[in-house]
Structure 1
Amino acid sequence: MKDSAVAPPVQLIDCSNEARLLSDRACSTIRHDILSCVIEPAATLTEASLMTRYGIGKATCRVALQRLAQEGFLRAVPRQGYVVRPITLKDVEEVFALRLQLEPLSARLAAGKADIELLRRLERACRNDDASLGINNRIGIFMDANAAFHMAVAESSGNSRLVKMLGGLLNEMARLVALGFGVQKTKPEIRHDHTKMIDALESGNGRRAEQIAYRHVATFRDMTMEKVMASLRDTHAGTPIVPLRGTR
């Protein structure tokens, strides 16, 4: 009597896991386009338009939009869709007010503990200005390297809550810079602050690193505010200057 053939094991597909991966990917892509201002501030988004634009299904799109609304990037409007949160001067002020508190602390705590070679590599990346690339690509490369530099300092501080808070602020910074510098077609310049900070961190001089970090953020705040104000004027139709509540 012949042995019966043994059937191969049945491969079960975890549909819930696949759906989650699709929605995660869609959410990440749409978030990136919002942060880089590919999707303009104050734009109205519908499920139908995003499904066509990104080639995603209705369920995937709906989950991504709900998540981005929870994260504060979008606001749901009944019977219309979602509106991308506009950029305001208040946003610039609030982001930099927090950075001026957190980054000097981060630098002081990181003194003598930071990965100096990593910081030097990231500093060189910030200065990479390939003229063959378009201005938006050059700004994007700078912002990625700059954010990585500041996050590397924060991670060396040993304070995980500080790292999380600063990471969120730098994400918001990406949108401010994309609007301010992207519309004005100019790349941010950081002069020599990163180099001086690296020297202070390497020597373990926490007070010096703290001072440099404060000056660096304050200078970049003034530069960004100027560019954002100019861009808000130039793109006034889509990105209004929103006054503080209670003012006209």
Structure 2
Amino acid sequence: MESNTEKKSLSDIAYSQIKNMLLEFELHPGSAVTEIMFMQKFGISRTPVRQALQRLEQEGFMRLTPRKGWFVAGVSLRDIQEIFVVREALEGIAARLAAELLPQEVLDGLNLYMEKISSQEQTKDIDEVDPGDILHEKIFEAVNNQQMNRVLRLYNDQLRRFHIMASKLPGRALLSYKEHYEILRALTERNGEKAEKAMREHINSSKRSILDAVVNESYGKWFECQP
């Protein structure tokens, strides 16, 4: 018989694996899933699988329909709009603060990193490169605002799903590189106002790309078009 500790551990494993399948679109929004399919895939019992699915339901990734079973939750266009309102405000403020708080050695390292990516343009399609994650990470490390980080962490996984879609649009990665370069340049100049403006423009550009991805026929069927 499994102990409570073992059940929790198996539940965490199932949660992580199912969530990764969701974020990588191995499980498409709107598709039906069963506890049995995950039991067989992961080689574990029903209880930890059910616990994992219930946890994902609380996070908005799964939906349990009476007498029909589990479904991968669709993505609401309203969700995208609302999340990006929050993201633009918080990340804009973070960029402004980081212009004063980022250590010089971190800025130097980021500039070297961006230059290295740029130098690869002759030998590698820069559309495959998006340096955004590390820049955003360093900004929030420098600001060190736990409440701000907590709020954005709630949206992080949903945003990851959206960005996977947007990144497949032709030219999006190159545009993202240019936008992040502008943010970094403002940070290097220690210009908080300019850094906030560049970050807000980047966030809005990212939102537009995601909405463009939504209207793409291959993604549109996965979205819940609520107002």
Name the TM-score, length of structure 1 as normaliser.
0.75
In our comparison, the structure showing a higher alpha carbon Rg is 1
Aligned twin of 1:52: 40
Tell me the residue number matched to 1:234.
Answer: 218
1:179 matched to 2:165? The reply is yes
Whole-angstrom CA distance in 2 between matches of 1:74 and 1:126:
37
One-letter amino acid of the counterpart of residue 226, structure 2: P
Preserved CA contact (<8 Å) 1:23 1:64: yes
**Aligned in 2, Cα 1:181/1:23: closer, same or farther, shift over 3 Å?**
same
Equivalent residue letter for 1:155 = E
CA positional deviation for 1:179: 3.4
Q: Which residue of 1 aligns with 2:95?
A: 107
Shift of 1:82: 1.6
Q: Which amino acid aligns with 1:162?
A: M
1:38 to 18, 23, 26: 26
The DSSP-based 3-state class of the residue aligned with 1:116 is helix
Aligned equivalent of 2:191: 205
Question: Which residue number in structure 2 is paired with residue 93 of structure 1?
Answer: 81
Q: Secondary structure at the match of 2:71?
A: strand
Number of the residue aligned with 1:223: 209
- Partner amino acid, structure 2, of 1:15: S
Q: Deviations over 1:136-169 (max 9, x none)?
A: xx5xx84xx5334313212211211111222333
Structure 2 residue runs without a partner (length 5+): none
Shift of 1:89: 2.1
Q: 1:25 to 1:221 in 2, by over 3 A?
A: same
Cα contact 1:87–1:176 (8 A) shared by 2 = no
Structure 2 matches for 1:1-248, cutoff 5 A? Answer: 15-114=3-102, 115-117=106-108, 119-120=110-111, 123=114, 142=130, 146-182=132-168, 188-189=173-174, 190-230=176-216, 233-235=217-219, 238-244=221-227
Name stretches of at least 5 consecutive residues in structure 1 with no aligned partner. Answer: 1-13
Aligned match of 1:9: none
- The one-character-per-residue Cα deviations of 1:219-244 (angstroms, maximum 9, x if unpaired) are 121122112221xx3355x5144222
With the length of structure 2 as denominator, give the TM-score of the two structures: 0.81
Question: What is the distance in 1 between the residues matched to 2:40 and 2:171?
Answer: 32
Structure 2: how far apart are the matches of 1:188 and 1:43?
29
1:196 is displaced (CA, Å) by 2.4
User: Cα distance 1:41–1:125, how it changes in 2: closer, same or farther (>3 A)?
Assistant: farther
Instruction: Identify the structure with the greater helix proportion.
Output: 2
* Change over 3 Å in CA distance of 1:240–1:224 after alignment to 2: closer
Report the RMSD for the aligned CA atoms in angstroms.
Answer: 2.9
Q: In the alignment, is the contact (CA less than 8 A) between 1:89 and 1:229 conserved in 2?
A: no
Aligned 8 A contact 1:113 1:201 in 2 = no
Q: Which amino acid aligns with 2:222?
A: T
User: In structure 1, the residue corresponding to 2:100 is in which secondary structure?
Assistant: coil
